[in-house]
Amino acid sequence: MLAHIPLRETRRFHVYKDRTHVLIVADQPGRLHSTAGPAPSGPPEHPFLDGIALDALSEHELGSLLRDSTSFDDYLARLVAAGYDIRSDDLPARADPGPSTRLADGSGLLGVIWQRAGQSTTLARQPAPGALIFEAAALTFYREAPAEQLLAALADARSFDALLQALQAGGIHKI
């Protein structure tokens, strides 16, 4: 299913800590917009990321993770490892994505499931706008290997609870 979906030229994600919307990032050179007022010269430029910080309490940690990163994908991996969750930008900015639950299997963290309709995506391959939209939930895959199996379960799901039951029957659990 995912292999045949048209992809975006520029990936764009919303980043959450618990249910707080903390950051919007795009995979392109750009500017870093802070919650604080910009310097007289304007927001600083960045070589591989365009970002808008939305939460002053998270901004220091987000900046530290970015300074340690070597690429957009490395930054996303560092965010996930630090407990942030990532969602496709199919929701309007600052919208509540609904409750989220991290999913794992015997090999570790798989991704996050959002209890609200939306676009499912991997971090590396984001579908074009309007593609892979599901009513029962939205999934963000932090590992691509199980994506096809999970997308099939999502496509068949009639509700969020039914989807969780199907995933648990397939060896995937909440963490």
Mean pLDDT of 121-142: 93
Q: What distance in Å separates the CA atoms of residue 89 and residue 81, rounded to the nearest whole number?
A: 20
Average pLDDT of every residue of the chain: 92
Q: Which residues pair with 100 in a beta bridge?
A: 114
Entry pTM: 0.93
DSSP 8-state secondary structure symbol assigned to residue 143: S
pLDDT the model gives residue 148 = 81
Q: What distance in Å separates the CA atoms of residue 43 and residue 153, rounded to the nearest whole number?
A: 43
Q: Is 118 left (phi over 0), alpha (psi -120 to 50) or beta?
A: left
Q: How far is CA 80 from the centre of its chain?
A: 9
pLDDT the model gives residue 139 = 93
Q: What distance in Å separates the CA atoms of residue 83 and residue 16, rounded to the nearest whole number?
A: 9
Both tokens assigned to 156: 């068949």
Q: What's the pLDDT band for 64 if we cut at 50, 70, 90?
A: very high
pLDDT digits over 3-27, tens only?
A: 788 999 999 999 999 889 999 999 9
Mean pLDDT of 125-132: 93
Question: For tokens 């960045």, what's the residue?
Answer: 46
pLDDT digits over 72-106, tens only?
A: 999 999 999 999 999 998 866 657 788 999 999 99
